[in-house]
């Protein structure tokens, strides 16, 4: 039987996982909508909807890496999407109430 402190710890952990889940779902939807919009507006002559996009990675000292290479941008976007889906599955697998 869980005591009050243990119960509160479980509730806090579930709350934290729930927030992580909501954030991941939001990121996944953003990436999906971004790609759908790109594909919708894409010039039919271009194979890669990321043509014309720019990827910027900036650190806390404002140093930047910038690329406009559509193939690289597509790979990065797909990697982020896949990583979010995997993390979402992991978090959802661990959202459960313990047996009381």
- Rounded CA-CA distance 85/91 in Å is 10
Confidence of residue 50 (pLDDT cuts 50, 70, 90): confident
- Rounded CA-CA distance 50/27 in Å is 18
Taking only the tens place, the pLDDT of each residue in 67-80 is: 999 999 999 999 99
Q: Is the pTM of this model over 0.75?
A: yes
For residues 12, 2, 99, 13, the Cα torsion angle rounded to the nearest 10 degrees is 10
Confidence of residue 2 (pLDDT cuts 50, 70, 90): low
Q: Look at residue 42 and give its three-state secondary structure.
A: coil
Residue where the block lists tokens 């992991």: 90
Q: Is the pLDDT of residue 29 over 70?
A: yes
């Amino acid at each position: 039987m869980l005591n009050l402190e243990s119960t509160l710890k479980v509730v806090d952990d579930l709350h934290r996982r729930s927030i992580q889940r909501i954030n991941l779902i939001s990121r996944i939807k953003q990436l999906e909508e971004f790609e759908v919009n790109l594909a919708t507006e894409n010039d039919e002559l271009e194979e890669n909807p990321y043509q014309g996009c720019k990827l910027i990675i900036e650190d806390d000292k404002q140093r930047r890496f910038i690329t406009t290479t559509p193939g690289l941008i597509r790979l990065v976007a797909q990697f982020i999407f896949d990583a979010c889906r995997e993390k979402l599955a992991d978090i959802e697998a661990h959202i459960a109430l313990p047996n009381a």
